[in-house]
Structure 1
Amino acid sequence: GVTETDEMVEVPADTVIVAVGEKVPAEFYEANGINVNERGKAKLDQETLETSVKDVYLAGDGARGAATIVEAIRDAQLVAKAILGREVVSDRAVTGTETECYEKKGVLKEEKDAAKESERCLSCSKVCENCVDVCPNRANISVKVPGMEMAQVIHVDYMCNECGNCRTFCPYASAPYKDKFTLFAKPEDMDDSTNDGFAVLNADTKECRVRFLGNVTECKADDPEDKVPGGIRALICAVIDDYSYLLFK
């Protein structure tokens, strides 16, 4: 056990770095030009953890607020990979198949009923669509994007009443109705929201208005020379080509 002694020890230091899982310093970020969301957390490229300011990255508690050491290590690997431009770790392959994952949905197996723990695991690293399943308005949509292994979830702004179900059930402590890339019915709706996302201006030419990491720009989604990241453009193209029923007519 631990016994208090009331003894005080002074340690001289030039700089003290606070690393005890405190709140993210939103005002400090904003003062340095980093865009933040409504909860004060920096808007990040989820693949690299780069902020809206080029070459500035955030990881661990500074990116997401109080979290685990494992998540901080994961973030550090993503940042190192982005800076170096190459893989820095050898990752294990994601196990399981989509069919196996979907078969486990809604099946809560007790430990005593499972021969091994993997029978109880829902394999969120392979398929995670909780926010899609629990939305009563179907405002979160799973989108298959050509070339991407996992389906991508978008949020449909005009179908959401902000009930908060998706936030409650998200295993990653996220608020999908705020954090997922959002499809807006028209550009004016984007002005009324702080969500990153897009509004289709012309489906035939794939011209869109896009907000990414808080920065708004015009985009031609099928143009490989466009400055909007390729993954975002691929997602937009998939919505226009294969999920056109979502576009507000």
Structure 2
Amino acid sequence: MSSRPDATTTRADGRHGRPWRAVGAVVVVLLAMAGSGLIGASLKTTAPVRPPQPAAQTGVTAPTGVPFDDVDLGGTDGPVPGLARAVPTAISIPRIGVDAQIMPLGTNPDGTVQVPPLDQALLAGWYEPGPSPGEVGNAVIVGHVDSAAIGPAVFFSLGALQPGDVITVSRADGQPANFQVDSVASYPKDAFPTEQVYGPSDRPGLRVVTCGGQFDEATGDYPDNVIVFASLTS
């Protein structure tokens, strides 16, 4: 089955170059259940191959074991200037062999964040109401981990990424946004770090999200979310 992250019941600001922080804390609170059912479609095989999981298995704390509020996920000595807003077209992650097209995503009528359709599980999706990759703020890209129809999907190996790995997002303006992975961690879906994924930031960041954990045959879903935190490099 496929599932989806909950989000705000209204479209957030952040379009046309406005930073995500202009949305305000209320929207961040409304996103508190984001990722609580994100993008897991079971592999129905006799001997299923399960996706790799990150070494950092966390709840509401950073991989270092201290609260996120006390951790700088920037990955640089100072903020890197952001790029102008531009639609992302593709994402490349050499370490795990990802070279995928990106589709824009919004919200469903019930306020949940859209995900790529299962028949296009090899595509990634950009959360369009937020910043574009390279803009100041946290750009969010999501994708399926697997699918009953095709097996491993676009972000099947996301949990194998390590700090220092490179992610490149191609953009419609021809200027690629190059990111370096700061951290990779797994969170229970009921402890999704909403503010660190969808919330405000004064620097250009990228969050890449898929499902993770041990697949639950009874519920037909994964219990966790794997999240990659990355920062724009100069």
- TM-score normalised per structure 2: 0.26
By percentage of residues, which structure has more helix?
Answer: 1
